[in-house]
């Protein structure tokens, strides 16, 4: 009898550095149990405007870049902080 795969739904936000730092653990899960897991990615969040973003010290794209660099170093997940300036939600600011 064939065992049914476990369905994992991963909600993520491409502009969220914390979401990026989960990637190493997610990859490890897939390496170890990938044959038993059906993974679905769902993109969410997607900052519509910096005008409505007030999360502590982060108020502009330059602040996000710095945070990405810090979390990337801590999590050992490569995150390119300066790439934040090329995201569609940042353009035009």
Parse the chain into domains and list their residue ranges.
6-82
Residue 2: predicted pLDDT: 78
pLDDT beyond 60 at 21: yes
pLDDT tens string 36-64: 999 998 888 767 777 776 667 777 777 77
Average pLDDT value for the chain: 76
Lowest mean pLDDT among 8-17, 33-42, 70-79: 70-79
Please give the backbone phi and psi of residue 79, each rounded to the nearest 5 degrees, phi first.
-130, 125
- Write the CA distances from 77 to 19, 29, 58, 80, integer angstroms: 11, 15, 21, 10
């Amino acid at each position: 009898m064939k065992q049914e795969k476990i369905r994992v739904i991963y909600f993520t936000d491409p502009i969220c550095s914390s979401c990026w730092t989960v990637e190493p653990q997610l990859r490890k899960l897939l390496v170890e149990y990938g044959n038993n897991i059906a993974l679905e990615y769902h993109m969410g969040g997607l900052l519509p405007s910096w005008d409505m973003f007030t999360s502590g010290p982060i108020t502009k794209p330059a602040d996000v870049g710095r945070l990405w660099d810090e979390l990337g170093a801590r999590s050992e997940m490569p995150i390119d902080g300066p790439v934040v300036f090329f995201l569609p939600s940042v353009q035009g600011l």
